[in-house]
Structure 1
Amino acid sequence: MNTKNLNLISKFIDSTVITLTFLVPIFFLPITTDFFELNKMALLVLGSLILLVLWGIKILLTKKLAISSSPLDLPILLSLAVFILSTIFSINKDASIFGTQGRWFPSLIGFATLVVLYYSSASNIDKSSTIKAAVYSFLLASSISSLVAILGYYNTPLRLFDNVMFTFSGSINSALFVASLGTALSLIMMFGEKNQFVKMSLTVVALTNFSLLLVLNNVVSWVLLLTGLLAVAYMVPVEQIKQSKLNLYVAAGFIISLVLLAALPATNKVVINNNFPREINLDVTGSWIVTSSSLRDFPILGSGPSTFNLNYTRYKPIYLNNGNEWSLRFDKPFNELFNVMSTMGILGTAALVFLGIAVIKLAFKIKNMNMDRSEEGNIAETLSAGLIITLVSFLVTYAYSINAFALFLFSALLVSKIKMFNKETDLVKHVVLSFTSVSEEVSLSSLSAVKKEYFHYVISAPVFALAIAGFLLTYRTYAAEVYMKQALVAAQKNNGNTTYQMMAKAINTNPRKDVYHNLYAQVNIALANSVASKANLSDTDKQTLQSLVSQAIRSSRISTEMLNPLNPVNWEVRASVYKALIGAAENSEQWTINAYNTAIQLDPTNPKLRLDLGGVYYAKKDYLTAANLFRQATTLKPNYANAYYNFAEALYNLKDYKNAKTSFEAALSLVEKGSADYKKVAEELNILKELPVVAGAAAESSPSEKPSIEPITQNTGATEQENVKQEPLTDPNQLKKEPKVSDIVNPSTN
């Protein structure tokens, strides 16, 4: 055995773990469509594959396979098995394997990556200094994350990307998790540290993270912080707290000053940014309704990992239409427990709860171990507290790359720490597979089928094969995202040619993403409209036009019929493609209607779909069917001004002027006074009132019999007092619109 090479491999493994611990909370790249989650997951996959390759090389050098066995093995492997089974029976296998756009975790690839990270770290880290360096790396990263979030919160010129909500972690929820973890863990490390400079530095880390928690004032952060403080009180010996009075005085003084500044009226507006936007999440009631409905239909294995977005549209409760978030399609529930129940069923919930219980038991057993804290300080206690806070985070928010990474990394580091503390303990064993039985090693000499001199190659071959497969899958996903980002940048500049080419590259690289095909279909239609707008079309233009239209139809059919037929968004895009061809292609109207009907079946409580479908019938002059659909939209969303306006237009064409007037009045009561839409509705209402049949009816009626909006609103809740944002009114007489390529990335138009 080459000891020098073996030591070098061990150093590489240690460095990789420390680097990952520092980078994951703050790593992002602006070269993909998703700056944060995708890049964090790609970093995790890359780091785990590096650890796997290094482990394989170590097997070749030592001719041994060393694995740390702990009480976490069974629940981890059971959870992985359930992930695989749930993915096999998933309603969208691609999403379950790779994750959805912007939500790359939890997925089968993501969970498998964390399992590889856990075993690669737990089985190969054998120095307390490595564990301590990893903890300090995380604390440093948490400080950087919180500092950047604070700069954005106060709208300073130093904020990045001109976005007050920008955080290195990727979202406000994840930034609060990192800050809560950083606050509690730095306190525990501070109490166990003897060097006064390091103690004060850890105090600064704790206060930096606490500052973010205070100014954001989020319930989730306070729950996590309270959990952390309880962990501090339980894990840290009283003697250590007494020896840290100076640091506690400094911390108390800072906290009291900050709280007073935030509480006093004279300084409140300086410290607290009342205009800071909040992250929008699905509430507990809505989450439970969707989860219970999914459990009813998919009780054993759920609908599949990363399929909550499909469950939400099918089971969305109608009461959510009354709020400002009615048009959002949530892809995560209130917390991860609901997500697991919905997407992985009873077996998945049982397996992951089993894992959580095993982690808690392992964390609390540290209290009864008399570890030597003379050099490492409170490393084991810090890791245990980190695990407890992380598990609680899954009850108050959903899972993402950072808290999932923290769970598996801290578990691996704690297992390694226990292994180093007491090699004779039954809690953690270091099992070594070799050709000779030495000490606690397990002999494999009985395996006569495999020649001894080749056995280490047989063991290491699957390791390298798994690493290669993981790299290829990750490269395909990541490269496609880079191409798509370049396409969207070109689209924002209205550069159709570059947009078209980059999207084609993205689809060729990763043809299994329905989002790519949807965007590609929209771009093809936009380019087709651009070509068709020319005064005189040449033969080449006509061929180009035909090719673009054919490609748009082909892409929309791929996303709806092959890749993800249960996603209503795909059917909406398909409907928009055919709608753009109405009047230019045979049967386009019927194809549009069919697509909208399928979308409505998949998203039955969405009033916008009925409004759009009603617009198609309105253009056909089938005003009765259109009015029926517009009326359904007002029933689904009683405060939907656009639906009332379109309903009034349809009734007007049906010559039902009385009810048209009532519907116009309902729309007028819902739009913002003084806005362009308000003036538009008021003008049409005045024109309607001047019609002889309406004016005569009003003159003949007594004051108590005058038409009012009550018949329409008494059962629907449309009132002037409701402060609900309204979308711009759409005129059903203007069905078609000539989009630009940039429309596909403009949220106001799509």
Structure 2
Amino acid sequence: MFLMPILFLPITVDAFGTGKNILIMIMAVLGLVIWLLEVLVVKKESVKISGAWWLMAIVVGWAWVLWYRMVPGVRMRTMVDVSGVGVLSAGLIWFFLWLQITNEVERKKQLNWLTGAGVLTAIISIIVFLIPSVKFPINWPKDNPMVSINANWSLAGSVLSEALLMLFLVMEWGKRLVIKLKNENYILEAGVTSFLSLVLALDIFKIFKSGWFNLDGTTAWVIAVETFKRSPIFGVGAGNFVTAFNAFRSDSYNLTPMWANGFLHSSNGILNLWTELGIVGIVIVMVALINLLKIKKNFNFGVLIVVVLAGLFLPVNLVGIMLLIWVVSGLNPPKSPFDKGDLHLMMKVGENGFNVAPWLLVLLLAGGSVLAGYRLTKIILADVYMRQSLVAAVKNDGGEVYKLQIKAIGMNPNMADYRRAYSQTNLAMASNLLANKEMTDEDRQKASTLVQQAVREGKAAIALDENNPIYWLNLAMIYRQLVGMVDGAADWSYQAYQQAVVLEPANPISKLDLGGLLFAANKFEEADRVFEQVVTTKPDFANGWYNWAYSAKKLNKLEFAVARLTQAVALVPATSGDYEKANGELTTWKKELAASAQGSGEPKAETLKTAEPLPTIGKEQVVVPTGELEPVVPTPIITN
């Protein structure tokens, strides 16, 4: 309990996100191993189980069923997500271990340790708050940053997680204070409660000051409903909300301040559960809530209802999940599903009636622990290598980046993000070689190999997670960079962009890139139609109107071009340099339109910069795999 809110894994890419999730899983496995040793030493023949644990076991089991239905890349991505099967399974293990603690004194000790973590988190939060904003970001250590601190940084992972921790501790210590008010010795309780309340108020202030950086409720509801229409039973799978976000968010999302951001989770826990686990998850939660009402006279009911409401109506976060599990594990109301009962481990064999049940349980769980430990070790090592490659990239050490990313893929070949990063590394190295005017035959061969690997790894990422538009956009950009070097590259880029648009129809950026590709290829009519889709998707997108105006200009539709450019200028802040440029262009076009209307001459020759031309990285022709955009199957694949 002490480590839960403050642990992080600085050697990974996302120390306070994925790193925390992985450590929770590792600690769960270690805790289970220690308990198994106790079973053998003490020769336990029964364990404590509650109805609430069985409900969570059903949820976790259902999550695993959905996990096995996913493709390898999605499995790996969701495994380490905070709402994925890894964290859910770890939570189930911790639930079981905490159920075995029947001594209230021991639970009080756990709360004291958690308070220690909370106080440490609170002190650091105050220190960060007092640092002048001009000092941010603070990277430590400078040469190899493991921690990057900004105004909203928190040891708990986020300000919201920190606020939940403070709220929980304030309620628990407030209960202690109420109990001790009749006595004179309540200075400690009053002091701790006051200090934590102060930090809670500070966290609330931070949230209001920085804004609510989470998915809006309307979009979350639309995504949940659309997912239910298409997959009411299964949802999209635990930890896989991003797939539903890409596919089902509406165009209205583009009118919100967060339109350029993607979200891994819904606006609140109940919609996230509904989207990921379908109707099965909702039914289980409803059963649990109905049974909660039966224990409202319990002294811990107030704390329980707060953590439950936080879990249901706030975004998913690790601290909230673990606090909810800890509170529920401590409930023991009689004659309710939350009542703890004994599950006897009894299976006698032989003439002497030797009980083999504990040994079978130990063997089963020990085997699972070894397998889980092995998998987690490989996941961690892969992420360590990937982080080291990013550090090498900052130092402009391309060779080291290349080697480290190969190691990362070797450890975890099913992580599509690693494949995408490796494809970009190969393309960048090929670009450097081809840009050399004194390129040798050996350099030419290396460049050819690197280009082939870039294409191969781009396709491999798609094969691992084919419904993720990020990987299709990555392949589209790879082919776009090869235009002028490889025959058909523009067509392949076009196909990849089209697939990205299909998978994420509400993304105006991918449509703008597709239109830019068509514009640069002098396919102005097609570009015009795509740019129209851009402004339909996001009506207040100045860049969309600007490019749509230029496509009209190229089609000699000057009146439409002026109208569209007028809209673009209206959307650009008057104080920006873009405004001066666009307004100057508009003035010129209006003069051309007036001259054209009066028949006073031909329009002036176009000299202004339009959509970016298709880039090239050299004149050398290299050989790349040909054919349609059928993604290759990546190798190797984890089978053990």
- Give TM class, smaller chain: 0.7 to 0.9
Distance 1:699 1:389, change over 3 A: farther
Map 1:707-718 onto structure 2 (within 5 A).
none
Distance 1:598 1:135, change over 3 A: same
Q: Which moved more, 1:134-143 or 1:562-571?
A: 134-143
Map 1:445-456 onto structure 2 (within 5 A).
445=348, 447=349, 452=354, 456=358
1:118 aligns with 2:30: no
**What is the aligned partner in structure 2 of residue 406 from structure 1?**
323
1:366 aligns with 2:333: no
1:606 & 1:698 partners in 2: Cα distance?
41
**Is the Cα–Cα contact under 8 Å of residues 485 and 616 in structure 2 kept in the other structure?**
no
Map 1:420-569 onto structure 2 (within 5 A).
427-434=339-346, 444-445=347-348, 447=349, 452=354, 456-560=358-462, 562-569=463-470
Q: What's the offset of the Cα at 1:604?
A: 1.0
**What is the aligned partner in structure 2 of residue 725 from structure 1?**
none
1:590 & 1:450 partners in 2: Cα distance?
77
**Is the Cα–Cα contact under 8 Å of residues 96 and 305 in structure 1 kept in the other structure?**
no
- Which amino acid in 2 is paired with 1:366? N
Q: What's the offset of the Cα at 1:695?
A: 2.8
Q: Give TM-score scaled by structure 2 length.
A: 0.87
Runs of 4+ in structure 1 over 4 Å off: 156-160, 193-198, 356-362, 447-451, 453-456
- Which amino acid in 1 is paired with 2:615? K
1:98 & 1:121 partners in 2: Cα distance?
29
- Which amino acid in 1 is paired with 2:378? R
Q: What's the offset of the Cα at 1:177?
A: 1.1
1:558 & 1:359 partners in 2: Cα distance?
47
1:539 & 1:694 partners in 2: Cα distance?
58
- Which amino acid in 2 is paired with 1:557? K
2:392 & 2:184 partners in 1: Cα distance?
51
Q: What's the offset of the Cα at 1:456?
A: 4.2
**Is the Cα–Cα contact under 8 Å of residues 308 and 339 in structure 1 kept in the other structure?**
yes
Distance 1:187 1:449, change over 3 A: same
**What are the superposed Cα offsets for residues 609-632 of structure 1, whole Å, 9 maximum, x if unpaired?**
111111111111111111111111
Q: What's the offset of the Cα at 1:158?
A: 11
1:735 to 614, 618, 621: 614
**Is the Cα–Cα contact under 8 Å of residues 569 and 599 in structure 1 kept in the other structure?**
yes
1:99 to 78, 89, 98: 78
1:497 & 1:660 partners in 2: Cα distance?
48
- Which amino acid in 2 is paired with 1:182? L
2:456 & 2:387 partners in 1: Cα distance?
22
Distance 1:630 1:730, change over 3 A: farther
1:175 aligns with 2:154: no
**What are the superposed Cα offsets for residues 44-91 of structure 1, whole Å, 9 maximum, x if unpaired?**
22221122111221222233343102232431222222222222334x
**Is the Cα–Cα contact under 8 Å of residues 568 and 603 in structure 1 kept in the other structure?**
yes
SS in 2 for 1:281: coil
Distance 1:468 1:195, change over 3 A: farther
1:575 aligns with 2:457: no
Q: What's the offset of the Cα at 1:659?
A: 1.6
- Which amino acid in 2 is paired with 1:106? S
Distance 1:559 1:388, change over 3 A: same
1:96 & 1:42 partners in 2: Cα distance?
15
Q: What's the offset of the Cα at 1:209?
A: 2.8
- Which amino acid in 2 is paired with 1:634? V
1:665 & 1:572 partners in 2: Cα distance?
31
1:183 & 1:734 partners in 2: Cα distance?
59
**Is the Cα–Cα contact under 8 Å of residues 672 and 678 in structure 1 kept in the other structure?**
yes
1:388 aligns with 2:290: no
Q: Which moved more, 1:472-481 or 1:139-148?
A: 139-148
Distance 1:279 1:32, change over 3 A: farther
- Which amino acid in 2 is paired with 1:319? S
Distance 1:216 1:460, change over 3 A: closer
1:22 aligns with 2:35: no
**What is the aligned partner in structure 1 of residue 16 from structure 2?**
36
Number of aligned residue pairs: give it: 599
**What is the aligned partner in structure 2 of residue 335 from structure 1?**
268
2:153 to 163, 166, 172: 166
**Is the Cα–Cα contact under 8 Å of residues 190 and 199 in structure 1 kept in the other structure?**
yes
**What are the superposed Cα offsets for residues 244-270 of structure 1, whole Å, 9 maximum, x if unpaired?**
xxxxxxxxxxxxxxxxxxxxxxxxxxx
Distance 1:295 1:427, change over 3 A: same
**Is the Cα–Cα contact under 8 Å of residues 160 and 203 in structure 2 kept in the other structure?**
no
> Which runs of no fewer than 5 residues in structure 1 stay unpaired?
1-20, 219-271, 368-380, 435-443, 701-728, 740-750
**Is the Cα–Cα contact under 8 Å of residues 360 and 387 in structure 1 kept in the other structure?**
no
**Is the Cα–Cα contact under 8 Å of residues 83 and 348 in structure 1 kept in the other structure?**
no
Distance 1:167 1:387, change over 3 A: same
Q: Which moved more, 1:501-510 or 1:186-195?
A: 186-195
SS in 2 for 1:67: strand
1:132 to 99, 108, 114: 108
**What are the superposed Cα offsets for residues 275-334 of structure 1, whole Å, 9 maximum, x if unpaired?**
x42241111111111100000100112111111111111111111112332222222111
Distance 1:449 1:322, change over 3 A: farther
SS in 1 for 2:498: helix
2:130 & 2:275 partners in 1: Cα distance?
38
Distance 1:361 1:114, change over 3 A: farther
CA RMSD of aligned residues (A): 3.0
2:32 to 52, 60, 66: 52
2:540 & 2:425 partners in 1: Cα distance?
33
Distance 1:485 1:198, change over 3 A: farther
**What is the aligned partner in structure 1 of residue 127 from structure 2?**
151
**Is the Cα–Cα contact under 8 Å of residues 227 and 275 in structure 2 kept in the other structure?**
yes
> Which runs of no fewer than 5 residues in structure 2 stay unpaired?
139-147, 601-607, 619-640
**What is the aligned partner in structure 2 of residue 205 from structure 1?**
192
**What are the superposed Cα offsets for residues 469-505 of structure 1, whole Å, 9 maximum, x if unpaired?**
1111211222111111111122223322222222211
Q: What's the offset of the Cα at 1:151?
A: 3.1
- Which amino acid in 2 is paired with 1:697? A
**What are the superposed Cα offsets for residues 636-680 of structure 1, whole Å, 9 maximum, x if unpaired?**
111111111111222222222222122222211111223222222
| Sequence identity percentage | 23
**What are the superposed Cα offsets for residues 24-48 of structure 1, whole Å, 9 maximum, x if unpaired?**
1122233211121222222222221
- Which amino acid in 1 is paired with 2:279? I
Q: Give TM-score scaled by structure 1 length.
A: 0.74
2:114 & 2:227 partners in 1: Cα distance?
37
2:484 & 2:616 partners in 1: Cα distance?
13
- Which amino acid in 2 is paired with 1:304? G
Distance 1:273 1:481, change over 3 A: closer
Distance 1:283 1:273, change over 3 A: closer
Q: What's the offset of the Cα at 1:633?
A: 0.6
**What are the superposed Cα offsets for residues 78-123 of structure 1, whole Å, 9 maximum, x if unpaired?**
2222222222334x565456627xx711111211111111112322
Q: What's the offset of the Cα at 1:450?
A: 11
Q: Which moved more, 1:62-71 or 1:508-517?
A: 62-71
2:106 & 2:246 partners in 1: Cα distance?
47
Q: What's the offset of the Cα at 1:385?
A: 4.1
